[in-house]
Amino acid sequence: MPLISVKDAAFAYDGQIVLSKVSFDVNPGDYLCVVGENGSGKSTLMKGLLGLVKPVKGSITLADGLNRDEIGYLPQQNLTQRDFPASVREVVESGIRSRSLFLTREDKERADAMMGLMEIGQLKHRSFMELSGGQRQRVLLARALCATKKLLLLDEPTAGLDPVVARDLYKTIQKINQENGIAIIMISHDVHTAAQYATHMLHLRQTPLFYGKPDEYLSTYHGQCFAGGVCCV
């Protein structure tokens, strides 16, 4: 059974449809990359998957045994996150505290394991505000991983990072997907790089323009236009 199944879903704000006819499944081990121009409905879809907005038509179904609070989520970076007055360990552990006020020994061991996976264990006593952009993203990714063992949602995780740091983060996300078996749903504007790692591509423009394998997408008219930085009609 898919971890999450979207069937003919449509979303609206103030009665106006902003995204419609969306259907796809995400199975264990999948890596879905969602692309599209600004205003195409990517963020609305992410909110729908998180349960923050409900479809006005169609459905979003989670697998038995998967609760929404067990989905890891990494939002876009913002100034509030950068100025978060806490240590790295406190930020990472907050991914567990979102479900429970008190941490068990197992919770703390999981936080340590996720910091190790993200190669930030040596930073655990540092202030989050003192970190570089790439380090902050690794901390926030470790935080998101504390919440899940099955499904991770990433909203433009490499935005604002320099190319070398972004490439390293993509490789880490691939490792999480392939070695830890966590399914990924990621919004990205970096089509070429995302297509190297994704198992599926979804291109939105208020409705799906394409859903399928990355190599097939890059050979389509819309895939070639978007990958080339051209807005196609």
Question: pLDDT tens digits for 80-118?
Answer: 455 667 899 999 988 886 566 678 888 889 999 999 999
What is the domain extent for residue 119? 77-149
Would 72 be classed as within a structural domain?
no
The partner residues of 33 in beta bridges, in order of sequence, read 186, 201
pLDDT of residue 70: 80
Q: pLDDT band at residue 45, thresholds of 50, 70 and 90?
A: very high
Residues 57 and 161 in one domain: yes
Residue whose entry in the numeric block shows the structure tokens 């591509």: 201
Which of 129, 149, 169 is a domain's end point?
149
Residue whose entry in the numeric block shows the structure tokens 């070639």: 224
Q: pLDDT band at residue 123, thresholds of 50, 70 and 90?
A: very high
Structure token digits, residue 114: 């996720």
8 A C-beta contact, residue 227 and residue 60: no
Of the candidates 43, 48, 11, 57, which has an alpha carbon nearest to the alpha carbon of residue 154? 43
User: Is the model's pLDDT at 228 over the cut of 70?
Assistant: no
User: Is the model's pLDDT at 226 over the cut of 90?
Assistant: no
Size of the chain, expressed as the number of residues it contains: 233
Residues 9 and 49 in one domain: yes
Question: What are the phi and psi torsion angles at 203 (to 5°)?
Answer: -105, 120
pTM of the model: 0.88
Residues 164 and 227 in one domain: yes
Structure token digits, residue 141: 């990714």
Residues 156 and 221 in one domain: yes
Q: pLDDT band at residue 184, thresholds of 50, 70 and 90?
A: very high
Residues 181 and 119 in one domain: no
In a 13 Å sphere around the CA of 192, the CA atoms on its Cβ side amount to 8
8 A C-beta contact, residue 97 and residue 37: no
Residues 171 and 110 in one domain: no
Structure token digits, residue 50: 């998180």
Residues 144 and 155 in one domain: no
User: Is the model's pLDDT at 69 over the cut of 90?
Assistant: no
Which of 97, 122, 149 is a domain's end point?
149
Q: pLDDT band at residue 231, thresholds of 50, 70 and 90?
A: low
Residues 49 and 157 in one domain: yes
- Give the chain's domain count: 2
Structure token digits, residue 36: 């599209």
Contacts of 74 by beta carbon, 8 Å cutoff, 6+ apart? 137, 140, 141, 143, 144, 152, 153, 154, 155, 157
Q: How far is CA 52 from the centre of its chain?
A: 15
